[in-house]
């Protein structure tokens, strides 16, 4: 169904839910618009950016596509991209950050039980051709890709050709995805998915805990699958996630609240006398084991409330509360004065599962001068339907037939006298509204003779309830004319 979507964000292990405000190392407060024209969405996240940093968002479209993320003025460190959205099925996304020589990757999630091909995995890194140590093309790794579903980790190693033999005479070969604690340098213990020769009692393909450099330092902790794709020069390896997360050493540093592992592809030559020697490795990166996905669904229009306006003068700003049942972020959020001057409204929090307060900059020229008639908070989450909340703020000038002539005192504490004059007999409506436009009281709603009239308002609503301090508006309607004046209630 076109329209809305649900944002999924979950971590590793038992896949316990992780809320959108969780303090991840990268890509916090991920949010998205509703489906926009062209079946795209605006995707936003808080992430590191600046000189020397490259940020992209990843999605599946005949392989994994990368689109640049650009900084926008929204949250404190917001990046944004417009990408294909979910139309008829769930769509997963990923992120890549390359900064200061360090790669961080959130791979695009695989579908459950999908039997992926190498092209379905997300590129971790590429490696130059011809840089392996022994002149054997099959050990020359040129690319490493990674991916995961809810149960398994996957890695695809691509070489320069020659297949992925595990032995030639008395020389043996291994192909690995190495795993270690992020940023740990040269730790005492590593983990690896290893495709190699089967030598009974010595070594065989599997998921290993590696405690040293010799074959005797390998401890098998799980099984792997290994599938060759000769047409792509690729070897696809996979293991059960649970075999890693159940390991006590892995558990000692792995954080399910911010699930990350550092990985790289390796090839080795193994001889009886020389032992295992590294032949080649791909550049490594930190793999963030989270899922980001959008589900299709109907879109419900957002709602606005509590448009709050300051008194004229320096230092004031406008706020309005934005709520969206689908947790969409808006793509239009602006404040419009008299249908002419437009200023941005920005969120003061970023969890759209709850109401979000939007605020303007302070000291906007119309706010300082007070010389405007109508202000509108305008929002849209889909660029098609627009919701508005308006307030009439300052003087619509009347004529001699009907006009306010005073509000004394103003500001006031206990009561204010509202004086007006009529040139001829007629029906008069004098009403008090709060800053959101809600009717509070109606001191006059009747026909009155010509002349000067005074009515009092004591800061209470029609039921006699005392109102909080703040800005209110007195609207006079008489003889087909209207005037609005600002009142300030103090307590």
Rounded to whole angstroms, the Cα distance separating 256 from 14 reads 9
Rounded to whole angstroms, the Cα distance separating 329 from 34 reads 8
Rounded to whole angstroms, the Cα distance separating 374 from 388 reads 12
Higher confidence at residue 170 or residue 55?
Answer: 55
Q: Does 16 score more than 50 pLDDT?
A: no
pLDDT at 398 (0 to 100): 37
Q: Does 38 score more than 50 pLDDT?
A: yes
Tell me the CA distances in angstroms from 26 to 135, 208, 257, 385, one per residue in order: 39, 29, 12, 33
Rounded to whole angstroms, the Cα distance separating 322 from 386 reads 13
pLDDT at 480 (0 to 100): 67
Q: Does 2 score more than 50 pLDDT?
A: no
Higher confidence at residue 390 or residue 45?
Answer: 45
Q: Is the dihedral of CA 365, 367, 369, 372 positive or negative?
A: positive
Which residue, chain included where needed, has tokens 């999924």?
8
Q: Does 18 score more than 50 pLDDT?
A: no
Percent of the chain exceeding pLDDT 70 equals: 91
Q: Does 10 score more than 70 pLDDT?
A: no
Question: Domains (ranges, CATH) in the chain?
Answer: 4-293 (2.60.40), 300-392 (2.60.40.650), 402-489 (2.60.40.4070)
Mean pLDDT for 224-246 is 97
> What band does 293 get if pLDDT is binned at 50, 70 and 90?
very high
Summarize pLDDT for 403-432 with one digit per residue, the tens: 444 688 888 888 998 887 777 788 888 899
Q: Does 395 score more than 90 pLDDT?
A: no
Mean pLDDT for 73-99 is 96
> What band does 364 get if pLDDT is binned at 50, 70 and 90?
very high
Q: Does 326 score more than 60 pLDDT?
A: yes
Q: What Rg do the C-alpha atoms of the chain give, in angstroms?
A: 33
Chain mean pLDDT for the chain: 88
Q: Point out the least confidently predicted range of 50-64, 210-224, 346-360.
A: 210-224
**pTM for this model (two decimals):** 0.78
pLDDT at 394 (0 to 100): 38
> What band does 399 get if pLDDT is binned at 50, 70 and 90?
very low
């Amino acid at each position: 169904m076109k329209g809305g979507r649900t944002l999924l964000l979950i971590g590793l292990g038992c896949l316990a839910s992780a809320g959108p405000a969780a303090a991840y190392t990268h890509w916090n407060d991920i949010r998205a618009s509703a489906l926009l024209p062209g079946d795209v969405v605006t995707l936003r996240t808080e992430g590191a950016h600046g000189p020397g940093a490259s940020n992209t968002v990843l999605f599946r479209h005949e392989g994994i596509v990368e689109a640049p993320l650009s900084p926008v003025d929204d949250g404190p460190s917001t990046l944004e991209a417009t990408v294909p959205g979910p139309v008829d099925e769930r769509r997963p996304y990923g992120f890549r950050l390359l900064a200061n020589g360090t790669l961080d990757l959130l791979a695009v999630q695989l579908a459950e039980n999908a039997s992926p091909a190498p092209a379905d995995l997300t590129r971790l890194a590429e490696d130059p051709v011809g840089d392996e140590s022994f002149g054997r093309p099959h050990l020359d790794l040129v690319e490493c890709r990674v991916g995961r579903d809810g149960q398994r980790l996957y890695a695809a190693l691509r070489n320069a050709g020659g297949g992925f033999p595990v032995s030639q005479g008395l020389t043996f070969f291994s192909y690995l995805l190495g795993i270690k604690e992020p940023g740990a340098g040269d730790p005492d213990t590593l983990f690896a998915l290893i495709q190699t020769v089967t030598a009974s009692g010595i070594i065989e393909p599997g998921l290993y805990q590696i405690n040293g450099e010799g074959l005797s330092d390998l401890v098998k902790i799980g099984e792997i699958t290994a599938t060759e794709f000769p047409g792509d020069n690729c070897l696809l390896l996979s293991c059960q996630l649970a075999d890693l997360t159940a390991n006590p050493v892995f558990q000692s540093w792995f954080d399910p609240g911010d699930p990350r592992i550092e990985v790289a592809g390796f090839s080795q030559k193994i001889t009886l006398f020389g032992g295992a020697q590294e032949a080649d490795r791909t550049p490594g990166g930190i793999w963030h084991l989270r899922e980001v996905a959008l589900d299709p669904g109907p879109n419900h229009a957002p709602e606005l409330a509590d448009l709050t306006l300051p008194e004229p003068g320096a230092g004031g700003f406008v706020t309005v509360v934005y709520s969206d049942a689908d947790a969409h972020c808006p793509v239009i959020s602006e404040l419009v004065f008299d249908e002419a001057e437009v200023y941005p409204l920005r969120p003061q929090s970023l969890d759209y599962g709850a109401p979000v307060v939007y605020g303007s900059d302070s000291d906007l020229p119309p706010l300082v001068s007070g010389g405007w008639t109508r202000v509108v908070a305008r929002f849209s989450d889909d660029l098609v339907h627009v919701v508005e909340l308006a307030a009439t703020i300052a003087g619509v000038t009347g004529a001699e037939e009907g006009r306010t002539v005073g509000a004394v005192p103003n500001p006031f504490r206990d009561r204010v006298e509202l004086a007006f004059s009529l040139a001829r007999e007629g029906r008069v409506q004098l009403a008090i509204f709060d800053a959101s436009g809600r009717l509070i009281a109606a001191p006059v709603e009747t026909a009155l003779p010509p002349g000067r009239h005074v009515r009092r308002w004591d800061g209470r609503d029609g039921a006699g309830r005392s109102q909080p301090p703040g800005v209110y508006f007195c609207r006079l309607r008489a003889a087909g004319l209207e005037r609005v004046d600002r009142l300030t209630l103090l307590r």
